[in-house]
Amino acid sequence: MKPTILIIDDERVLRDNFKRIFELEGYGAVLAENGNEGIRRFADSEPDIVLLDVCLPDINGLKVLESIKKLDTNAMVLIITAMPGFDSAVKFIKAGAYDYIPKPFDVEELKFIIQRALESARLKKRVEDIEQQEIEKYGFDKIAGESMAIREVCSLASKVAASSTTPVLITGESGTGKELLARAIHLSSPRRDKPFVVVNCTTLSEDLLESDLFGHERGAFTGAIKKKIGKFEIAHTGTIFLDEMGDLHPKLQMKLLRVLQEHEIERVGGTSSIKVDVRIISATNKDVD
C-alpha cells in the first residue's frame, strides 16, 4: 500500500503542484485548503505524512498541529512557511512537528525529508510492535500461578511498576520466575520503551564484573586496550536487572550504594563521575536478611 501525504495549504497552485510531484513519486495525495478541512481530512484518510502551512485562512497552523496530535500522537507533520523564524520553529517542534521547512524550498530536498520521515515512522512502528510482543510475552498475566501469594506478589509489583524510580528487590528460590517478574515490572512502567539490561552477578569475577557494570577507560588495567561502556550506561533511562545480587562482593555493593544515592557511576580507571538515570531491579535466591 502506497504512503499517503496530506497537503494543507491555502494556495491552490502549490497544492496541485505538490499533488503532481508526489503522485509521480508513487505517493497518494490528499488536499485541504484550510485548517478545519485539514483536520477532517486527517481523521478520514489517516495519512502517513502531513504537509502543513503555517498561515491558513481560518485557524493558524499551530492550532491545526495540536488538533492533529490529539487525534494521533505519532502523526508525522512537516511544517512549511514563507515566514521562517527561530522562535516560531521552536514552538512547532515543541508541539510535535517532525520538521520545519521555510519557503522557498528545493523539491529534491523536500522529497528527501519526506523519505526520512516515512523511514522514521516505520522504525517507530516496528519498535512499538516489538514492545507489544514483549508485553504479550512477559506481562503480569503471563506469570503462572493461582495461589493467593502469587496474586499478592503480582498486585504489589504492578503498583511498584507505576513508579519509574523505586528500586525493587525480588527474592525467591532459583527457577521461580524472578527475571520474568522483573521484565513484567519494566514493561508495565513508564520506562517500557527504554532498555532492559540483564546482568548475572555470578558469572564474572569481581574485577570483571566491576568493568561490566561501570565500564572502564583505556589502559585502566592489563588488556584494557580501548574504552568500554558499562551496563549502567547502556541502561540509561531504562532498567537494569541485577540477577543473584546476593553474590556481589562487598566492594561492589558499596559502589552500587553510590549509584542508588547519587545516581552516578565512575568507570574503572576514570577520574570523573557520569550521571545515570536507571531503575535498579535486583534478585537473589539467598536470605539477605
Give me the CATH number covering residue 9.
3.40.50.2300
Is 165 part of any domain?
yes
Query: Cα(182)–Cα(177) distance, rounded to whole angstroms?
Result: 9
Is 139 part of any domain?
no
80 & 186 share domain = no
103 & 169 share domain = no
Q: Which one of 80, 114, 133 terminates a domain? A: 133
User: Three-state DSSP class for 137?
Assistant: helix
Give the mean pLDDT per block of 10 residues along the chain (289 residues): 89 90 90 93 91 89 91 88 68 85 81 87 75 65 73 86 90 87 90 90 85 89 86 94 89 87 90 92 89
Is 45 part of any domain?
yes
Cβ–Cβ under 8 Å, residues 281 and 186 = yes
Q: Which one of 86, 116, 133 terminates a domain? A: 133
Give the pLDDT score at 220: 83
Give the pLDDT score at 205: 82
Query: Cα(173)–Cα(177) distance, rounded to whole angstroms?
Result: 9
110 & 210 share domain = no
Give the pLDDT score at 139: 67
265 & 197 share domain = yes
Q: How many domains does the chain have?
A: 2
8 & 129 share domain = yes
Give the pLDDT score at 196: 92
Structural domain of residue 41, as residue ranges?
Answer: 4-133
Give the pLDDT score at 141: 66
Query: Cα(241)–Cα(235) distance, rounded to whole angstroms?
Result: 10
116 & 200 share domain = no
Q: Which one of 133, 151, 173 terminates a domain? A: 133
128 & 168 share domain = no
Is 138 part of any domain?
no
46 & 126 share domain = yes
Buried b or exposed e, range 161-182, using 16+ CB within 10 angstroms: beebeeebebeeeeeebbbbbb
Is 141 part of any domain?
no
41 & 118 share domain = yes
12 & 74 share domain = yes
**Nearest Cα residue to 143 out of 152, 238, 196:** 152
103 & 202 share domain = no
257 & 207 share domain = yes
CATH code at position 247: 3.40.50.300
Cβ–Cβ under 8 Å, residues 233 and 265 = yes
Torsion angle of C-alpha atoms 81, 86, 89, 90, degrees rounded to 10? -170
Is 187 part of any domain?
yes
Is 125 part of any domain?
yes
Give the pLDDT score at 270: 87
Is 273 part of any domain?
yes
